[in-house]
Homo-oligomer: A and B are copies of this chain.
Amino acid sequence: MYRLISELYPICRSITGDGLRQTLRRLREQIRLELSEVPTGTQVFDWTVPKEWNIRDAYVKNARGERVLKDAEYEVCIDSTLEDGHLTYGEYFLPGEIRGEVLISCHTCHPSLCNDNLSGIALAASLARVLAVAPHRYSYRFLFVPGTIGAITWLARNEDKIPHIKHGLVLTGVGDAGELHYKKSRRGNAEIDRAVAHVLQHSGQPHKILEFSPYGYDERQYCSPGINLPVGRLSRTPHGTFPEYHTSADNLEFVHPEKLADALTACLTIFSLLENNQTYMNLNPKCEPQLGKRGLYRMVGGSADAGLSEMAMLWVLNQSDGRNSLLDIAERSGLSFDSIQKAARALEEHELLRKDFKSVPQAAR
Protein backbone atom coordinates (compact mmCIF):
# COMPACT_ATOMS: atom_id res chain seq x y z
CA MET A 1 0.00 0.00 0.00
CA TYR A 2 2.78 2.41 0.91
CA ARG A 3 4.55 1.74 -2.41
CA LEU A 4 1.37 2.43 -4.35
CA ILE A 5 0.92 5.70 -2.47
CA SER A 6 4.52 6.66 -3.34
CA GLU A 7 3.85 6.06 -7.02
CA LEU A 8 0.59 7.96 -7.12
CA TYR A 9 1.80 10.89 -4.98
CA PRO A 10 3.52 12.92 -7.77
CA ILE A 11 0.55 12.69 -10.17
CA CYS A 12 -1.39 15.97 -10.56
CA ARG A 13 -4.95 14.88 -9.80
CA SER A 14 -8.21 16.78 -9.79
CA ILE A 15 -11.88 15.92 -10.09
CA THR A 16 -11.44 15.58 -13.87
CA GLY A 17 -8.55 15.33 -16.29
CA ASP A 18 -5.52 13.32 -17.18
CA GLY A 19 -4.07 13.09 -13.66
CA LEU A 20 -7.20 11.31 -12.53
CA ARG A 21 -7.03 8.98 -15.57
CA GLN A 22 -3.37 8.24 -14.91
CA THR A 23 -4.19 7.36 -11.29
CA LEU A 24 -6.97 4.98 -12.26
CA ARG A 25 -4.83 3.36 -14.97
CA ARG A 26 -2.15 2.62 -12.43
CA LEU A 27 -4.78 0.95 -10.22
CA ARG A 28 -5.87 -1.15 -13.18
CA GLU A 29 -2.52 -2.85 -13.02
CA GLN A 30 -3.60 -4.29 -9.68
CA ILE A 31 -7.33 -4.84 -9.99
CA ARG A 32 -9.65 -5.27 -12.96
CA LEU A 33 -11.01 -1.77 -12.77
CA GLU A 34 -13.69 -0.76 -15.25
CA LEU A 35 -13.30 2.91 -16.25
CA SER A 36 -16.28 5.11 -17.10
CA GLU A 37 -16.07 8.41 -18.98
CA VAL A 38 -19.04 10.71 -18.41
CA PRO A 39 -19.20 13.69 -20.80
CA THR A 40 -19.07 17.28 -19.64
CA GLY A 41 -22.58 18.67 -19.35
CA THR A 42 -24.22 15.41 -18.30
CA GLN A 43 -26.95 16.12 -15.74
CA VAL A 44 -26.52 14.04 -12.56
CA PHE A 45 -29.37 14.75 -10.15
CA ASP A 46 -29.02 18.45 -9.22
CA TRP A 47 -25.48 18.66 -10.62
CA THR A 48 -23.79 18.89 -14.02
CA VAL A 49 -20.58 17.11 -14.96
CA PRO A 50 -18.04 19.96 -15.28
CA LYS A 51 -15.46 20.73 -17.90
CA GLU A 52 -12.19 18.90 -17.79
CA TRP A 53 -9.25 20.71 -16.27
CA ASN A 54 -5.77 19.83 -17.44
CA ILE A 55 -2.36 21.29 -16.73
CA ARG A 56 -0.03 21.39 -19.68
CA ASP A 57 2.81 23.13 -17.94
CA ALA A 58 3.57 25.44 -15.03
CA TYR A 59 6.75 27.25 -14.15
CA VAL A 60 8.33 30.39 -12.80
CA LYS A 61 10.84 32.10 -15.09
CA ASN A 62 13.30 34.86 -14.39
CA ALA A 63 13.95 37.80 -16.67
CA ARG A 64 16.34 35.74 -18.78
CA GLY A 65 13.70 33.09 -19.50
CA GLU A 66 15.25 30.63 -17.09
CA ARG A 67 12.96 28.55 -14.89
CA VAL A 68 14.36 29.56 -11.46
CA LEU A 69 13.27 31.38 -8.41
CA LYS A 70 16.22 33.20 -7.12
CA ASP A 71 15.91 36.57 -8.88
CA ALA A 72 13.87 39.48 -7.72
CA GLU A 73 11.85 39.69 -10.92
CA TYR A 74 10.24 36.73 -12.63
CA GLU A 75 7.42 35.54 -14.82
CA VAL A 76 4.88 32.98 -13.60
CA CYS A 77 3.14 30.77 -16.16
CA ILE A 78 0.41 28.19 -15.56
CA ASP A 79 -0.56 26.71 -18.89
CA SER A 80 -3.84 24.90 -18.35
CA THR A 81 -7.03 24.16 -20.21
CA LEU A 82 -10.65 24.05 -19.06
CA GLU A 83 -12.59 22.48 -21.88
CA ASP A 84 -15.34 20.03 -22.59
CA GLY A 85 -14.19 16.53 -21.79
CA HIS A 86 -15.14 13.82 -19.36
CA LEU A 87 -15.35 12.92 -15.70
CA THR A 88 -13.57 9.62 -15.14
CA TYR A 89 -14.20 7.08 -12.41
CA GLY A 90 -13.18 3.50 -11.73
CA GLU A 91 -15.39 0.65 -10.57
CA TYR A 92 -14.55 -2.91 -9.62
CA PHE A 93 -17.35 -5.40 -8.99
CA LEU A 94 -16.62 -8.70 -7.31
CA PRO A 95 -19.66 -10.98 -7.52
CA GLY A 96 -20.53 -13.13 -4.49
CA GLU A 97 -23.02 -15.88 -3.71
CA ILE A 98 -25.85 -13.42 -3.16
CA ARG A 99 -26.92 -10.25 -4.92
CA GLY A 100 -26.61 -8.20 -1.73
CA GLU A 101 -23.51 -6.00 -1.94
CA VAL A 102 -20.97 -4.30 0.26
CA LEU A 103 -19.93 -0.89 -1.11
CA ILE A 104 -16.38 0.41 -0.63
CA SER A 105 -15.91 3.94 -1.81
CA CYS A 106 -12.87 6.24 -1.88
CA HIS A 107 -12.26 9.62 -3.44
CA THR A 108 -9.58 9.92 -6.08
CA CYS A 109 -9.41 13.65 -6.76
CA HIS A 110 -7.11 15.21 -4.19
CA PRO A 111 -3.75 16.37 -5.53
CA SER A 112 -0.43 15.84 -3.76
CA LEU A 113 -1.92 14.57 -0.52
CA CYS A 114 -0.88 11.17 0.78
CA ASN A 115 -3.32 10.59 3.59
CA ASP A 116 -6.22 12.40 1.94
CA ASN A 117 -6.82 10.23 0.03
CA LEU A 118 -4.07 8.07 -1.45
CA SER A 119 -4.29 6.05 1.78
CA GLY A 120 -7.97 5.31 1.12
CA ILE A 121 -7.24 4.41 -2.52
CA ALA A 122 -4.41 2.06 -1.53
CA LEU A 123 -6.52 0.43 1.19
CA ALA A 124 -9.46 -0.11 -1.18
CA ALA A 125 -7.16 -1.59 -3.83
CA SER A 126 -5.64 -4.00 -1.31
CA LEU A 127 -9.06 -5.03 -0.03
CA ALA A 128 -10.12 -5.76 -3.61
CA ARG A 129 -7.08 -7.95 -4.17
CA VAL A 130 -7.55 -9.89 -0.92
CA LEU A 131 -11.29 -10.39 -1.33
CA ALA A 132 -10.89 -11.49 -4.96
CA VAL A 133 -9.14 -14.65 -3.80
CA ALA A 134 -11.16 -15.27 -0.60
CA PRO A 135 -14.56 -16.98 -0.38
CA HIS A 136 -17.34 -14.46 0.20
CA ARG A 137 -21.09 -14.56 0.41
CA TYR A 138 -21.73 -10.90 -0.39
CA SER A 139 -20.84 -9.20 -3.64
CA TYR A 140 -18.38 -6.32 -3.24
CA ARG A 141 -18.40 -3.11 -5.24
CA PHE A 142 -15.38 -0.79 -5.15
CA LEU A 143 -15.79 2.78 -6.32
CA PHE A 144 -12.78 5.02 -7.12
CA VAL A 145 -14.52 8.31 -7.75
CA PRO A 146 -13.73 12.02 -7.59
CA GLY A 147 -15.23 13.46 -4.39
CA THR A 148 -18.84 14.71 -4.37
CA ILE A 149 -19.43 14.95 -8.15
CA GLY A 150 -18.09 11.42 -8.70
CA ALA A 151 -20.25 9.80 -6.05
CA ILE A 152 -23.26 11.78 -7.27
CA THR A 153 -22.56 10.75 -10.85
CA TRP A 154 -22.30 7.08 -9.94
CA LEU A 155 -25.52 7.18 -7.90
CA ALA A 156 -27.39 9.04 -10.66
CA ARG A 157 -26.30 6.50 -13.28
CA ASN A 158 -26.87 3.42 -11.11
CA GLU A 159 -30.13 3.94 -9.26
CA ASP A 160 -31.15 0.37 -10.04
CA LYS A 161 -28.14 -0.96 -8.10
CA ILE A 162 -28.82 1.02 -4.90
CA PRO A 163 -31.33 -1.46 -3.42
CA HIS A 164 -28.69 -4.21 -3.51
CA ILE A 165 -26.25 -2.31 -1.30
CA LYS A 166 -26.60 -3.80 2.21
CA HIS A 167 -23.54 -2.27 3.87
CA GLY A 168 -20.89 0.24 2.94
CA LEU A 169 -17.77 2.07 4.00
CA VAL A 170 -16.19 5.28 2.81
CA LEU A 171 -12.42 4.91 3.27
CA THR A 172 -10.32 8.02 3.73
CA GLY A 173 -7.35 9.24 5.77
CA VAL A 174 -6.42 5.82 7.11
CA GLY A 175 -2.63 6.15 7.05
CA ASP A 176 -1.76 8.78 9.65
CA ALA A 177 -0.58 8.00 13.17
CA GLY A 178 -3.96 8.62 14.85
CA GLU A 179 -6.46 6.07 16.16
CA LEU A 180 -9.28 4.71 14.02
CA HIS A 181 -12.48 6.76 13.93
CA TYR A 182 -15.74 5.37 12.67
CA LYS A 183 -18.50 7.76 11.71
CA LYS A 184 -21.92 6.12 11.83
CA SER A 185 -24.32 6.07 8.92
CA ARG A 186 -27.39 8.30 8.92
CA ARG A 187 -29.43 5.36 10.23
CA GLY A 188 -27.19 5.24 13.29
CA ASN A 189 -27.82 1.60 14.21
CA ALA A 190 -27.36 -0.16 10.88
CA GLU A 191 -25.62 -3.52 10.88
CA ILE A 192 -22.45 -1.88 9.50
CA ASP A 193 -22.53 0.63 12.39
CA ARG A 194 -22.80 -2.13 14.97
CA ALA A 195 -20.29 -4.37 13.19
CA VAL A 196 -17.59 -1.69 13.07
CA ALA A 197 -18.24 -0.67 16.68
CA HIS A 198 -17.93 -4.30 17.77
CA VAL A 199 -14.71 -4.90 15.85
CA LEU A 200 -13.09 -1.71 17.15
CA GLN A 201 -14.18 -2.41 20.73
CA HIS A 202 -12.69 -5.88 20.63
CA SER A 203 -9.52 -4.74 18.83
CA GLY A 204 -7.91 -3.80 22.12
CA GLN A 205 -6.81 -0.51 20.56
CA PRO A 206 -7.96 3.03 21.27
CA HIS A 207 -10.58 4.23 18.81
CA LYS A 208 -13.59 6.53 18.58
CA ILE A 209 -17.14 6.14 17.33
CA LEU A 210 -18.63 9.35 15.92
CA GLU A 211 -22.31 10.10 15.44
CA PHE A 212 -23.51 10.82 11.91
CA SER A 213 -23.38 14.37 10.67
CA PRO A 214 -24.13 15.58 7.13
CA TYR A 215 -20.67 17.11 6.72
CA GLY A 216 -17.63 15.10 5.63
CA TYR A 217 -16.75 12.97 2.59
CA ASP A 218 -18.95 10.99 0.19
CA GLU A 219 -21.03 9.51 3.01
CA ARG A 220 -22.85 12.84 2.55
CA GLN A 221 -24.22 11.56 -0.74
CA TYR A 222 -24.75 7.91 0.24
CA CYS A 223 -26.59 9.12 3.35
CA SER A 224 -28.69 11.82 1.69
CA PRO A 225 -32.38 11.32 2.56
CA GLY A 226 -33.41 9.99 -0.86
CA ILE A 227 -30.51 7.49 -0.95
CA ASN A 228 -30.18 6.68 2.77
CA LEU A 229 -27.75 3.79 2.45
CA PRO A 230 -26.18 2.12 5.50
CA VAL A 231 -22.76 3.54 4.67
CA GLY A 232 -20.38 4.75 7.38
CA ARG A 233 -16.89 6.19 7.19
CA LEU A 234 -13.64 4.75 8.44
CA SER A 235 -10.75 7.17 8.98
CA ARG A 236 -8.00 7.88 11.43
CA THR A 237 -7.66 11.48 12.64
CA PRO A 238 -10.78 13.23 11.27
CA HIS A 239 -10.41 15.78 8.48
CA GLY A 240 -9.84 19.33 9.55
CA THR A 241 -8.61 18.45 13.03
CA PHE A 242 -4.86 18.14 12.33
CA PRO A 243 -2.49 20.87 11.07
CA GLU A 244 -1.24 18.86 8.08
CA TYR A 245 -4.80 18.65 6.68
CA HIS A 246 -4.95 19.94 3.08
CA THR A 247 -1.35 21.19 3.18
CA SER A 248 1.88 20.00 1.58
CA ALA A 249 2.73 18.41 4.95
CA ASP A 250 0.26 15.61 4.12
CA ASN A 251 3.18 13.89 2.39
CA LEU A 252 4.87 10.49 2.34
CA GLU A 253 6.17 11.01 5.86
CA PHE A 254 2.69 11.59 7.20
CA VAL A 255 1.46 8.08 6.32
CA HIS A 256 2.79 4.89 7.94
CA PRO A 257 2.90 1.39 6.45
CA GLU A 258 1.91 -0.21 9.77
CA LYS A 259 -1.10 2.08 10.11
CA LEU A 260 -2.23 1.13 6.63
CA ALA A 261 -1.78 -2.54 7.48
CA ASP A 262 -3.73 -2.11 10.70
CA ALA A 263 -6.62 -0.46 8.80
CA LEU A 264 -6.58 -3.35 6.31
CA THR A 265 -6.88 -5.84 9.18
CA ALA A 266 -9.75 -3.86 10.69
CA CYS A 267 -11.64 -3.81 7.36
CA LEU A 268 -11.14 -7.53 6.76
CA THR A 269 -12.36 -8.28 10.29
CA ILE A 270 -15.42 -6.11 9.71
CA PHE A 271 -16.21 -7.83 6.40
CA SER A 272 -15.67 -11.23 7.99
CA LEU A 273 -18.19 -10.30 10.66
CA LEU A 274 -20.75 -9.20 8.06
CA GLU A 275 -20.15 -12.37 6.04
CA ASN A 276 -20.79 -14.55 9.06
CA ASN A 277 -23.47 -12.60 10.85
CA GLN A 278 -26.37 -14.96 10.43
CA THR A 279 -29.33 -15.96 12.53
CA TYR A 280 -29.63 -19.51 13.77
CA MET A 281 -32.36 -21.63 15.29
CA ASN A 282 -31.64 -23.78 18.33
CA LEU A 283 -32.89 -27.23 17.30
CA ASN A 284 -33.18 -28.27 20.93
CA PRO A 285 -34.77 -25.17 22.44
CA LYS A 286 -36.42 -26.79 25.47
CA CYS A 287 -33.79 -26.83 28.24
CA GLU A 288 -30.11 -27.10 27.43
CA PRO A 289 -28.96 -29.89 25.15
CA GLN A 290 -26.50 -32.30 26.69
CA LEU A 291 -23.13 -31.03 25.53
CA GLY A 292 -21.20 -33.76 27.32
CA LYS A 293 -22.43 -36.70 25.23
CA ARG A 294 -21.39 -34.78 22.11
CA GLY A 295 -17.90 -34.03 23.35
CA LEU A 296 -18.68 -30.32 23.59
CA TYR A 297 -18.34 -29.99 27.34
CA ARG A 298 -15.07 -29.23 29.07
CA MET A 299 -13.35 -32.24 30.47
CA VAL A 300 -11.53 -32.30 33.79
CA GLY A 301 -8.07 -30.94 33.22
CA GLY A 302 -8.74 -30.19 29.57
CA SER A 303 -11.10 -28.49 27.18
CA ALA A 304 -13.50 -29.79 24.54
CA ASP A 305 -12.17 -28.09 21.43
CA ALA A 306 -9.19 -25.80 21.40
CA GLY A 307 -10.44 -22.23 21.55
CA LEU A 308 -14.06 -23.27 21.88
CA SER A 309 -15.69 -21.34 24.68
CA GLU A 310 -18.37 -23.04 26.76
CA MET A 311 -19.87 -19.65 27.62
CA ALA A 312 -20.10 -18.79 23.93
CA MET A 313 -21.90 -22.08 23.24
CA LEU A 314 -24.36 -21.45 26.06
CA TRP A 315 -25.05 -17.92 24.81
CA VAL A 316 -25.59 -19.06 21.23
CA LEU A 317 -27.95 -21.83 22.34
CA ASN A 318 -29.83 -19.55 24.70
CA GLN A 319 -30.35 -16.71 22.23
CA SER A 320 -30.89 -18.61 18.98
CA ASP A 321 -34.66 -18.32 18.84
CA GLY A 322 -34.71 -16.82 15.37
CA ARG A 323 -34.73 -13.25 16.64
CA ASN A 324 -31.06 -12.73 17.40
CA SER A 325 -28.18 -12.67 14.94
CA LEU A 326 -24.70 -13.72 16.01
CA LEU A 327 -23.84 -10.02 16.35
CA ASP A 328 -26.85 -9.53 18.63
CA ILE A 329 -25.56 -12.41 20.75
CA ALA A 330 -22.01 -11.06 20.80
CA GLU A 331 -23.30 -7.67 21.91
CA ARG A 332 -25.52 -9.06 24.68
CA SER A 333 -22.92 -11.50 25.98
CA GLY A 334 -19.95 -9.14 25.80
CA LEU A 335 -18.01 -11.92 24.06
CA SER A 336 -16.17 -11.40 20.78
CA PHE A 337 -17.97 -12.14 17.52
CA ASP A 338 -15.18 -14.55 16.72
CA SER A 339 -15.84 -16.77 19.73
CA ILE A 340 -19.60 -16.61 19.17
CA GLN A 341 -19.15 -17.60 15.54
CA LYS A 342 -16.86 -20.51 16.43
CA ALA A 343 -19.42 -21.73 18.93
CA ALA A 344 -22.20 -21.49 16.35
CA ARG A 345 -20.14 -23.45 13.86
CA ALA A 346 -19.41 -26.23 16.38
CA LEU A 347 -23.06 -26.42 17.40
CA GLU A 348 -24.14 -26.52 13.75
CA GLU A 349 -21.74 -29.38 13.10
CA HIS A 350 -23.32 -31.27 15.96
CA GLU A 351 -26.80 -30.57 14.58
CA LEU A 352 -27.83 -28.51 17.56
CA LEU A 353 -28.25 -25.41 15.43
CA ARG A 354 -29.28 -24.56 11.88
CA LYS A 355 -29.22 -21.39 9.87
CA ASP A 356 -32.53 -19.60 9.93
CA PHE A 357 -32.96 -18.60 6.30
CA LYS A 358 -36.28 -16.95 6.99
CA SER A 359 -34.43 -14.24 8.86
CA VAL A 360 -32.20 -13.36 5.87
CA PRO A 361 -33.82 -10.40 4.11
CA GLN A 362 -35.16 -11.40 0.69
CA ALA A 363 -33.26 -8.60 -1.01
CA ALA A 364 -29.94 -9.84 0.32
CA ARG A 365 -30.12 -13.23 -1.39
A contacts, CB < 8 Å to B:
44-47, 148, 151-152, 155-156, 159, 186, 213-215, 220-221, 223-228, 282, 284-290, 311, 314-315, 317-321, 333
A10 CA to B48 CA, complexed, in Å: 73
Contact A317 B47 (CB under 8 A): no
Task: Select one of B152, B226, B318 contacting A282, CB under 8 A.
Answer: B226
B318 touches A225 (CB 8 A): yes
Q: Which of B225, B286, B314 contacts A226 (CB 8 A)?
A: B286
Contact B224 A285 (CB under 8 A): yes
Query: Quick one: which of B45, B155, B220 contacts A284, CB cutoff 8 A?
Result: B45
Min CB–CB distance A64 → chain B (angstroms)? 35
Please give the distance in Å from A185's CB to the nearest CB on chain B.
Answer: 12
User: Which residues of chain B come closer than 8 Å to A45, judged between CB atoms?
Assistant: 284, 286-287
CB of B225 within 8 A of CB of A319, answer yes
Q: Is the CB of A320 within 8 A of B225?
A: yes
Contact of A214 among B148, B228, B314 (CB under 8 A): B314
Known: A315-B214, A318-B214. A224 touches B46 (CB 8 A): no
In whole angstroms, what is the CA distance A90 to B148 when docked?
Answer: 60
Nearest B residue to A285 via CB reads: B226
Rounded to whole Å, the gap between the CB of A324 and the closest CB of chain B is 9
A284 touches B46 (CB 8 A): yes
Minimum Cβ distance to chain B for residue A48 (Å) = 8
CB-CB nearest in chain B for A315:
B214
Cβ contacts A to B, 15 pairs, < 8 Å: A44-B287, A45-B284, A45-B286, A45-B287, A46-B290, A155-B287, A213-B315, A214-B315, A224-B286, A225-B282, A225-B317, A225-B319, A226-B282, A226-B321, A227-B286
Most buried by B among A213, A220, A287: A287
CA distance A35 to B214 in the complex (A): 53
Nearest CB in chain B: distance from A69 CB, A = 26
- Assess whether B224 is in contact with A287, with CB atoms less than 8 Å apart: yes
Please indicate the chain B residues that have their CB under 8 angstroms from the CB of A227 in the complex: 285-287
A213 vs B313: C-alpha distance when bound (angstroms)? 12
A285 to B314 alpha-carbon distance, docked (Å): 46
Q: Is the CB of B226 within 8 A of A318?
A: no
Nearest B residue (CB) for A333: B213
Contact partners of A221 in chain B: CB under 8 A: 287-288
Cα–Cα, bound, A47→B294 (Å): 12
Q: What B residues does A214 contact at CB under 8 A? A: 311, 314-315, 317-318
Alpha-carbon separation in the docked complex, A15 to B238 (Å): 61
Kindly list chain B residues whose C-beta atoms are within 8 Å of the C-beta of A156: 286-287
Return chain B residues, CB-CB under 8 Å to A317: 214, 224-225
CA distance A288 to B28 in the complex (A): 30
Which residue of B is nearest A46, CB measured?
Answer: B289
Contacts of A333 in B (CB 8 A): 213
Whether B151 contacts A318 by the Cβ 8 Å rule is no
Distance between A283 CB and nearest chain B CB, rounded to angstroms: 10
B152:A287 contact, CB within 8 angstroms: yes
Is there an interface contact between A321 and B288, defined as CB atoms closer than 8 Å?
A: no
CA of A155 to CA of B227, assembled, Å: 48
Contact A225 B155 (CB under 8 A): no
B residues within 8 A CB of A224? 285-288, 317-318
Q: A213-B315, A214-B314, A224-B287 are in contact. List 14 more A-B contacts (CB 8 A).
A: A46-B284, A155-B287, A159-B286, A186-B318, A213-B311, A214-B311, A220-B318, A224-B285, A224-B317, A225-B318, A226-B284, A226-B285, A226-B321, A227-B286
